[in-house]
Amino acid sequence: MAIYDYKVLDRKGNEVSMADFKGKVLLIVNTATGCGFTPQYKGLEELYQKYHDKGLEILDFPCDQFGHQAPGNDEEIHEFCQLKYKTSFDNFKKIEVNGANESPLYTFLKSQKSFAGFTGCKGLFMRLFACLMDKNYKKNSNIKWNFTKFLVDREGNVVERFESTVEPEKIADKIEKLL
């Protein structure tokens, strides 16, 4: 299967075909509104403003699997993002990214790009934290925390995975190359 074979739900529960995004560069992110990484919404919005007209789409999938840091319903999450971070990209329906109820889209994404490693100043903390949750965390493709990002090219190829510790602005050059 290819990424364009999947369907997802928008925040109102309407089915959206990933094929609707053919020809676009995609940044697919599992997010949370009450996480230490939540301020990354600001950087995501900056990327969206800078590159949307050139073909970038940000697909925001709220996920409550990590410390229950995405409370509220889909509309409340959307309002929070718009009010607090002035986001103009849309949020999709809240999903699970690991386990028996994980979104098939995320099953696909993880099959394409496995865990990429924690970096930056928060990297050490996240390595220790992840090891407490799963001693073999480095050896599986599970999403480790909120704000894991997948970059998809215009042909639907998953080209890179960025873990939570990678700030959105650090991805700008990679997006530019794909645009």
Of the listed 35, 63, 121, 131, which one is catalytic? 35
CA atoms in the 13 A half-sphere facing the CB of 44? 32
Q: Is the pLDDT of residue 102 over 90?
A: yes
Segments making up each domain of the chain, as ranges: 3-178
The tens digit of pLDDT for each residue in 32-46 reads 999 999 999 999 999
* 10: β partners: 92
pLDDT band at 133 (very low <50, low <70, confident <90, very high): confident
Q: Is 27 in contact with 149 (CB distance < 8 Å)?
A: yes
In 3D space, the residue among 79, 92, 110 whose CA is nearest the CA of residue 20 turns out to be: 92
Does residue 35 carry a catalytic annotation?
A: yes
CATH architecture classification, 3-178: 3-Layer(aba) Sandwich (3.40)
